[in-house]
């Protein structure tokens, strides 16, 4: 798998290192706890339309967004036929992160993070399936001689 897609493998490993840096850094040094994040959020909340965006909601949405590329990259590495393996790997990864956070000062494991990260991975997997669907159709046609129009013509 990794030898067939070397560039994708490098990009995936680099992104996973980024995820590790964001999620496994001690709380006081974490990039998400900076004053800049709090100042930006305070400015956003000044707009009536965005006043609903509290720190907790922004953190939840960030957890979802953080794992969208994880789901997409894992799907592309494993292949569309093994989409379920990409999902399982993402769930295992987020469970490991939340378990490891118990031993990291200033970090607090949260079951909501597992749900948000899994949701992000699912979005990434679905996005990958949609984007690769034309290639999947071509592959089915080339492997089996299957044509979508033939299926509907028989009915």
Structure tokens at 13: 């490993």
Q: Whole-angstrom Cα distance, residue 66 to residue 151?
A: 40
Kindly indicate the confidence band of residue 74, based on its pLDDT and cuts at 50, 70 and 90.
very high
Burial level of 134, CB count in 10 A (0-12/13-18/19+)? Answer: exposed
pLDDT value of position 18 = 94
Reported as a single tens digit per residue, the pLDDT across 8-60 is: 999 999 999 999 998 998 876 666 656 777 788 888 888 888 878 877 888 89
Residue 2 has pLDDT above 60, yes or no: no
Q: Which DSSP string corresponds to 41-64?
A: HHHHTTSGGGTT--HHHHHHHHHH
CA-closest candidate to residue 116, choices 50, 68, 45:
68
**pTM of the predicted protein model:** 0.79
Q: Measure the CA–CA gap between 50 and 136, rounded to whole angstroms.
A: 40
pLDDT tens-digit map of 85-106: 999 999 999 999 999 999 998 8
Q: What percent of the chain has pLDDT over 90?
A: 50
Sign of the four-CA dihedral 115, 121, 127, 132: negative
Q: How far apart are CA 97 and CA 109, in angstroms?
A: 8
Residues whose CB is less than 8 angstroms from the CB of residue 68 and which lie 6 or more positions away in sequence, other chains included: 120, 121, 123, 124, 127
pLDDT at 112 over 70: yes
* % residues pLDDT > 70 (the chain): 85
């Amino acid at each position: 798998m990794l030898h067939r897609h070397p560039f994708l493998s490098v990009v995936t490993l680099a992104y996973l290192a980024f995820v590790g840096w964001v999620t496994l850094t001690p709380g006081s040094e974490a990039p998400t706890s900076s004053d800049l994040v709090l100042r930006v959020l305070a400015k956003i909340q000044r707009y009536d339309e965005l006043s609903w965006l509290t720190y907790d909601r922004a953190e939840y949405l960030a957890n979802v967004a953080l794992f969208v590329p994880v789901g997409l990259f894992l799907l592309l590495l494993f292949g569309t036929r093994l989409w379920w393996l990409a999902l399982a790997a993402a769930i295992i990864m987020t469970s490991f992160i939340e378990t490891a956070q118990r031993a990291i000062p200033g970090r607090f494991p949260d079951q909501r993070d597992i749900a948000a990260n899994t949701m992000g991975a699912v979005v990434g997997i679905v996005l990958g399936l949609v984007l690769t669907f034309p290639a999947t159709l071509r592959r089915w046609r080339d492997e089996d001689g299957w044509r979508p129009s033939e299926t509907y013509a028989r009915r």
